[in-house]
Amino acid sequence: MLEVKIPLGHVSGRVDHLGIDLKRQRLLVAEFGNNSFSVVDLAAGKVLRRIAGLSEPQGVAYVPSPDSVFVANGDDGSVHVLRGGDLAPIGRIELGDDADNVRVDTGRNRVVVGYGKGALAVIDPISLAKTANIRLKAHPEGFQIDETGTQAFVNVPGAHEIEVVDLATGSAQSLSTQGAGSNFPMAIDGDAHRILVVFRSPPVLMALSSHDGHVVGKAETCGDADDVFVDRKRHRIYVSCGAGSVDVLEPDGQGYRRLARVPTAPGARTSLFVPELDRLFVAVRAQPIKPAAIWVFRPAS
């Protein structure tokens, strides 16, 4: 159910990916179309700080050690690093082109950023040095690091593939997309040993075995999906779509069935499910008579 709407103020254009600083109860918002980055105080329900002058920020993540925030910029390929507490700039990493999704491997204390025409940059969050560069066949969209920290599963829609990358050696193997295209969001269901990939063409969720990559289940979804998450507590899946809804799915035999299609707003395709807070945050871009906002949903029991 929709619990609250937190206004973002004067933010134009698309709002991209979200991150969370659990330590301070802050939501991190990449405001792509506005060339800005905002921090939302969830306890107060308001924007705490907005940093302007960025270059199409797309990905954002909080890194517990050493307490910093990474913001990836699509236009100039830079990654801005901010101090977690006061958000002061402490570094900048130049990747060259189209820095996008950011993932944090807390077990090995490293940051992985997808960028360019096909690469993953592995970054040491303390020294801010790029320690590895893993080549892919095309630009990476949604990707996830497995729970062991040894592999990354990467959506590469430009190559019509899903690549499985060995993070130690940089070697990769390809998984078939079964003829589906525009595979953007991805999640790992560790309990079911499945990789969940959502396609836009056609709009379908495909579950692949994390052991050998074979397809173990499918389900139709809402259109223009950009994020997917697993609610391990309820054994549910949330898919947020630009068509203006969030699909709630649950396993049904070898496939999935839709429990609900929750209305949001046109273009609200990015979201973040935070299990520790038991909330789904959906980024809603500005409408002609309504400002941009973060809609906060509390999952039904």
Domains recognised in the chain with CATH numbers: 1-135 (2.130.10.10), 148-269 (2.120.10.30)
d(CA 15, CA 34): 8
pLDDT score, position 253 = 85
pTM for the whole thing? 0.97
From first to last of its 301 residues, the chain has per-residue pLDDT tens of 999 999 999 999 999 999 999 999 999 999 999 999 999 999 999 999 999 999 999 999 999 999 999 999 999 999 999 999 999 999 999 999 999 999 999 999 999 999 999 999 999 999 999 999 999 999 999 999 999 899 999 999 999 999 999 999 999 999 989 999 999 999 999 999 999 999 999 999 999 999 889 999 999 999 999 999 999 999 999 999 999 999 999 999 888 999 999 999 999 999 999 999 999 999 999 988 889 999 999 998 8
DSSP per residue over 90-157, as a string? Answer: EEEEE-SS----EEEETTTTEEEEEETTTEEEEE-TTT--EEEEEE-SS---SEEE-TTSSEEEEEEG
pLDDT score, position 289 = 84
pLDDT score, position 35 = 98
pLDDT for 20-32, tens place per residue?
999 999 999 999 9
